[in-house]
Chains A and B, each alone.
Chain A
Amino acid sequence: NAGVMQNPRHLVRRRGQEARLRCSPMKGHSHVYWYRQLPEEGLKFMVYLQKENIIDESGMPKERFSAEFPKEGPSILRIQQVVRGDSAAYFCASSLTDRGRDTEAFFGQGTRLTVV
């Protein structure tokens, strides 16, 4: 059972371009979380998705950022018209369910976005 897979591992974009980050959750997991880690800062929650639904997007910037988790395929975090301040590591986590004491979120290796 492969872990949470994120790609690409490294992404370089020029200012104004679009960045697309992909996350394939662990097999059988239907809950996905995206976090952002700015340089020298801790991880900050961005968005929580279940298949075809956004459950909590309280950490998402209001503009340029969007996320989806379609019925088929990976979850996508999209950043439009990137700016230098978007440079960060973006981590995805997945869990089997959101209920119960035994649930635990497993993290991917992250995508490191650099905006030049």
Chain B
Amino acid sequence: KQEVTQIPAALSVPEGENLVLNCSFTDSAIYNLQWFRQDPGKGLTSLLLIQSSQREQTSGRLNASLDKSSGRSTLYIAASQPGDSATYLCAVRYGYNTDKLIFGTGTRLQVFP
């Protein structure tokens, strides 16, 4: 069964810290992996998309890595800010013929001033 797990479930840190959010998946035959941000009561914002052939992607203070063989991805947030407070979701796409995503349950991040 294809499952995606995220740890920790919740994280509270002071502003300025560097953070690592973890995502693991049971089936390593992924097509790509995507990190999203979800603010309370809002939709999903795509942060980074990593193809199966890539090892990492960077956007501003965000860096996502992918290790297919171990079934893991990490999202690194540098110099965290209160505006980064949100739930971060990891999602895996397995099929070439579909954009269907398998989501993790998310990490709820709070960055306090």
Contact = CB atoms under 8 A, between A and B. Distances in A.
DSSP majority for the B interface? strand
A112 B43 CA distance: 11
Interface of A: 31, 33, 35, 41-45, 48, 55-56, 91, 93, 95, 98-99, 101, 103-110, 112
Contact of B99 (A33, A91, A108, A109): A33
B43 A56 contact: no
A33 B100 contact: yes
Interface stretch (B13-21, B56-64, B76-84, B102-110): B102-110
A95 B99 contact: yes
B43 A31 contact: no
Contacts of A110: 42-43
Contacts of A106: 46
Size category of the binding interface on chain B: 20 to 34
B44 interface: yes
Contacts of A112: 41
B51 interface: yes
A99 B96 contact: yes
A91 B91 CA distance: 14
Interface of B: 4, 32, 34, 36, 41-44, 46, 49, 51, 89, 91, 96-106
Given A42-B106, A43-B103, 11 more contacts: A33-B100, A43-B91, A91-B43, A91-B44, A101-B51, A104-B49, A106-B46, A107-B43, A108-B43, A110-B42, A110-B43
Given A41-B105, A43-B89, A112-B41, A55 B98 contact: yes
A31 B101 CA distance: 13
A109 B40 CA distance: 11
Contacts of A93: 99, 101
Given A42-B106, A104-B49, A98 B43 contact: no
A44 B105 CA distance: 10
A31 B97 CA distance: 11
